[in-house]
Amino acid sequence: MMKYINDELWKKQISQKDWYLRLDPEFKRLENIQKDLSKEDEEELKEEIYSSIERDLGNGSIQPNKKYHDWDDERKTIDTIVIHHTSNDKSLTLSRLNAKHMFRLYRPFFTNPNEDNKAIKGEAISSGHFTNGVQIFYGYHWLVRLDGTPERLLTDNYVGWHAGNWDINTRSVAICIDGNFETSSPDIKVLKSISQLIKDNYKNVPIENILGHNEVNKNTVCPGNGFIGGWKLTLINLIKKNISSSSPFTYKQTSNS
């Protein structure tokens, strides 16, 4: 039994293609509740929402639209890299990350689309991004685990919805560290992994265009308060160093179709 979510209402509406509109008053109610919650209770509320979305994506109750607008036709030459962190204290499964990004990135856009996309309101949510024929909603192109392993989430021809700035999205890739670095710094092995990933895949991106999320979106602290003037400098120095051209990590690469 859910503590915060109206479980009966959720189950009744979630299988409808416009579930995000039908449940929008419920989401607004939860947002209002969240304002007065302790940090611990706020996390419990978020857990209810994300676990419910994850479950319903997994069991097919939420069916993504197979017909979709091709936002990727706006993809430009990659000239920027944006560094993120998940802000989670524990490692995220890909299914949970997928659910979070569908809820946080795509749901608000389909609920209140801009003028150019107003026809999508009421349609089933879609991304146009696929892995092994399954539609995915990741905002990041890469996820770097705390052991340094880089995992490919989106191919570079996909526009990741990550920066909070559409122009930046169309010409950037997003590299996210799987952890919470709001008040700490990533281990050196993680930074070495990111530097090698950049050298292997994005050597033409200018050093000055390697940015934190908080440098392109002033409304976030991601990837942490210590990035600017702190561990960003370590990362940049690692990239500049003459690191061996052979990668010390085996990339986990998804097969996108």
Structure confidence by residue, pLDDT tens digits, 6-44: 999 999 999 999 999 999 999 999 999 999 999 999 999
As given in the structure block, the two tokens for residue 175 are 């590299």
Position 142 pLDDT exceeds 70: yes
pLDDT tens per residue across span 168-187: 999 999 999 999 999 999 99
Position 244 pLDDT exceeds 50: no
Q: Which fold has domain 74-253?
A: Lysozyme-like (3.40.80)
Q: Where in the chain is the domain with CATH 3.40.80.10?
A: 74-253
Q: How far apart are CA 89 and CA 107, in angstroms?
A: 24
* Predicted model pTM: 0.92
Q: Is the dihedral of CA 26, 30, 31, 36 positive or negative?
A: positive
Position 246 pLDDT exceeds 60: no
Q: How far apart are CA 158 and CA 173, in angstroms?
A: 9
Q: Mean pLDDT for the chain?
A: 92
pLDDT attached to residue 106: 96
Position 206 pLDDT exceeds 80: yes
DSSP string spanning 176-213?
Answer: EESS--SSS---HHHHHHHHHHHHHH-TTS-GGGEEEH
pLDDT attached to residue 2: 79
Q: Are 199 and 151 in contact (CB under 8 A)?
A: no
